[in-house]
Amino acid sequence: MAEETRLTRDGIRRLVLIVDDEHVNRRLLGKIIEKDYDVIYAENGQEALDLIRKREKTLSMILLDLIMPVMDGYELLALLHDDPNLSRIPVIVLTSERTAEVKSLQLGAADFIPKPYDMPEVILARVRRSIELAEDSSIINATENDTLTGLYTKDFFFQHARRHDQYYPEIEMDALVLNVNRFHLVNELHGRLFGDTVISSIAGQINRILDDADGIACRCEADTFFMYIAHKENYESMMNRIVTELNDITGNSHISLRMGVYQNVDKDIDIEIRFDRATLACNSLRNNYNTGFVIYDDKMHEKELYSNKLIGDMDAGVEEKQFKVYYQPKYDIRSNEPMLTSAEALIRWEHPEYGLVGPGSFVPLFEENGLVKKLDHYVWKEAAAQIKRWKDKFGVTIPISVNVSRIDIYDTGLEQKLLDLVHENGLEPHEYLLEITESAYTDDSQQIIDTVKKLREHGFRVEMDDFGAGYSSLNMLAALPIDALKLDMQFIRKITEDEKDFKMVQLMIDIAKFLKIPVIAEGVETKEQYDLLKGAGCDIIQGYYFSKPVPPEEFEKLIEARVNHNA
């Protein structure tokens, strides 16, 4: 019979090794199982070990006698048990001594067949069942463990964590999240193989930490690990241990890690929420590229509750018009006298419980979970209606610019939604300005460029917001379809104090002039800033120097001043 074929449940014959120093016993056992299995033989443990190593990928079962010359069954069992590649092969021990069972089980034996072999049906049933259990276990392990690190996968990790709480409810536990800072850059700079070495090194160190601590771990994402371990007071030595070995293995001291710890977890809350809290602590170090760790504390908990409250109240806020659109004027300063030319729509939340909430508290939250799209549409609708109201009341058009977030740009219905808005309000597209941040252009430049081109073809004017905060190349900037550059306010704040910042602003204005597009400076607060920008050739100013963002009724005073001036 062909020795390479295996298995029975699926019609493929499995390969079985019989190890016994007595020829009669080998042949007798072989005759019993060879009708269902392919069989090979060994006379002692050493001969068996050689065969096992040659056939480890095709061998499905070992039937092992314990008392043999050269190498006995106990020695072979111990060797198989300690080898990760060979320990998957089930071993049934052949013995007439009941006292041998405990030691054999401790060394990894799956079952026993008593001597003499007087019940062939029982022997076949034991062999078949042991092979099936081993194969089922192998399939489970393939999905239970991450292939690169050998740690649990996320789903199995959570299952095991819940089981740990069930059996050991009295043990205080900590939830840890460990992340490699800027791991995508590690892969880009050093290659995927080096990145795998980094991840494997961290996983190896985590395994050694678990040897000294009661707990489990998983690789959650490409560069993120979860650990659930018995409570520790201090994690500095753990971080130092991981980083030291990582540097020793990779030879790269520029790799940094961050870790968030939720100590003495509340076992009354779900396991995923516990790790959400540890992740929140870990992410608080996102823009800090030094190795370090943060403990989740009451302050973070209060912030989390506040954030969750805002997220939960968002729909009611939109339906009840708790969100208020304020308007900050933009003034054209190219002539001797500044002229009101347009406005930017800025959102505020008159929350029934927290009072007036600024956008910095809720916009980043909504950007993270996709709710910003609904908020953007609310602002778009309010701004379009406001342009029409002022147009009807004053007989002039004050164009309003609204923010178009990254998530909006990937909406295939974006063009039609904006066109419907302007047409419903009797406006022309050029009266409705769109602001897109520079960082959005650099995330997926071609997607953004294609979308903006289509919008401009319909007559919309597009401003690049926060220019100077991102990383646009000059080549890319020349190819972008935009109608204005809006300078990041961080540059403007320092132009009267730092000559380098002012020179940078001058350079950006010169670039815009070369491209023949106007420059808008936001965040202008003082007369000195105004004079410097006007002298440098800036076209439009926005900021507290002229006005803070105000509600529509206050903005109308500025429109009246413009109308009266032109009368």
pLDDT digit string (tens) for 241-263? Answer: 888 888 887 776 678 888 999 99
In this structure, the answer to whether residues 246 and 329 fall within a common structural domain is no
In this structure, the answer to whether residues 364 and 509 fall within a common structural domain is yes
Q: What is the 8-class DSSP label of residue 429?
A: G
Query: Which pTM does this prediction carry?
Result: 0.61
In this structure, the answer to whether residues 253 and 116 fall within a common structural domain is no
Which of the listed residues 83, 111, 143 is the one where a domain comes to its end? 143
Q: Which residues pair with 41 in a beta bridge?
A: 18
Structure tokens at 453: 């081109």
Q: In this structure, is residue 2 part of a structural domain?
A: no
In this structure, the answer to whether residues 127 and 267 fall within a common structural domain is no
**In this predicted model, what pLDDT tens digit does every residue of 499-553 receive, in sequence order?**
888 998 898 899 889 889 999 999 999 999 999 999 999 999 999 999 999 999 9
pLDDT tier at 211, thresholds 50, 70, 90? confident
Return the CATH number at 522.
Answer: 3.20.20.450
In this structure, the answer to whether residues 402 and 519 fall within a common structural domain is yes
Which of the listed residues 108, 143, 178 is the one where a domain comes to its end? 143
In this structure, the answer to whether residues 40 and 109 fall within a common structural domain is yes
Q: In this structure, is residue 291 part of a structural domain?
A: yes
In this structure, the answer to whether residues 319 and 179 fall within a common structural domain is no
Q: Taking Cα atoms as reference points, which of 333, 354, 353, 332 lies closest to residue 342?
A: 332
Q: In this structure, is residue 108 part of a structural domain?
A: yes
Cα–Cα distance, 467 to 330 (Å, whole number)? 17
In this structure, the answer to whether residues 527 and 439 fall within a common structural domain is yes
Q: In this structure, is residue 402 part of a structural domain?
A: yes
Task: Check if the beta carbon of residue 495 is closer than 8 Å to that of residue 505.
Answer: yes
pLDDT tier at 476, thresholds 50, 70, 90? low
Task: Check if the beta carbon of residue 349 is closer than 8 Å to that of residue 317.
Answer: yes
Structure tokens at 97: 């001594």
Return the CATH number at 275.
Answer: 3.30.70.270
User: Which residues have C-beta within 8 Å of that of residue 340, sequence separation ≥ 6?
Assistant: 329, 330, 331, 332, 398, 558, 559, 561, 562
Task: Check if the beta carbon of residue 547 is closer than 8 Å to that of residue 344.
Answer: no
Cα–Cα distance, 51 to 40 (Å, whole number)? 9
Q: What is the 8-class DSSP label of residue 14?
A: P
pLDDT tier at 4, thresholds 50, 70, 90? very low
Q: Looking at residue 437, what is its pLDDT? A: 80
The pair phi, psi for residue 232, each rounded to 5°, is -125, 150
Q: In this structure, is residue 193 part of a structural domain?
A: yes
Q: In this structure, is residue 416 part of a structural domain?
A: yes
In this structure, the answer to whether residues 113 and 229 fall within a common structural domain is no
Q: In this structure, is residue 149 part of a structural domain?
A: no
Cα–Cα distance, 190 to 198 (Å, whole number)? 11
Mean pLDDT of 6-22: 72
Q: Looking at residue 1, what is its pLDDT? A: 36
**In this predicted model, what pLDDT tens digit does every residue of 294-344 receive, in sequence order?**
889 888 888 888 888 999 999 999 999 999 999 999 999 999 899 999 999
Q: How far apart are the first and last CA of the chain?
A: 106
How many separate domains does the chain show? 3
pLDDT tier at 272, thresholds 50, 70, 90? very high
Structure tokens at 461: 């004017």
In this structure, the answer to whether residues 331 and 477 fall within a common structural domain is yes
For all residues of the chain together, what is the average pLDDT? Answer: 85
Inter-CA distances, 412 with 78, 407, 416, Å = 63, 11, 9
In this structure, the answer to whether residues 112 and 131 fall within a common structural domain is yes
Cα–Cα distance, 171 to 141 (Å, whole number)? 27
355: phi > 0 → left, psi -120 to 50 → alpha, else beta; which? left
Q: Taking Cα atoms as reference points, which of 43, 39, 41, 45 lies closest to residue 22?
A: 43
Q: In this structure, is residue 493 part of a structural domain?
A: yes
pLDDT tier at 431, thresholds 50, 70, 90? very high
pLDDT tier at 5, thresholds 50, 70, 90? very low
Cα–Cα distance, 323 to 375 (Å, whole number)? 9
> Residue 29 belongs to what domain range?
15-143
In this structure, the answer to whether residues 504 and 400 fall within a common structural domain is yes
Q: Looking at residue 143, what is its pLDDT? A: 65
Q: Looking at residue 8, what is its pLDDT? A: 47
Q: Taking Cα atoms as reference points, which of 139, 165, 164, 143 lies closest to residue 153?
A: 143
Return the CATH number at 107.
Answer: 3.40.50.2300
**In this predicted model, what pLDDT tens digit does every residue of 348-405 receive, in sequence order?**
999 999 999 999 889 988 988 888 999 999 999 999 999 999 999 999 999 999 999 8
pLDDT tier at 6, thresholds 50, 70, 90? very low
Which of the listed residues 232, 265, 296 is the one where a domain comes to its end? 296
Structure tokens at 87: 């320990």
| pLDDT over 60 (residue 10) | no
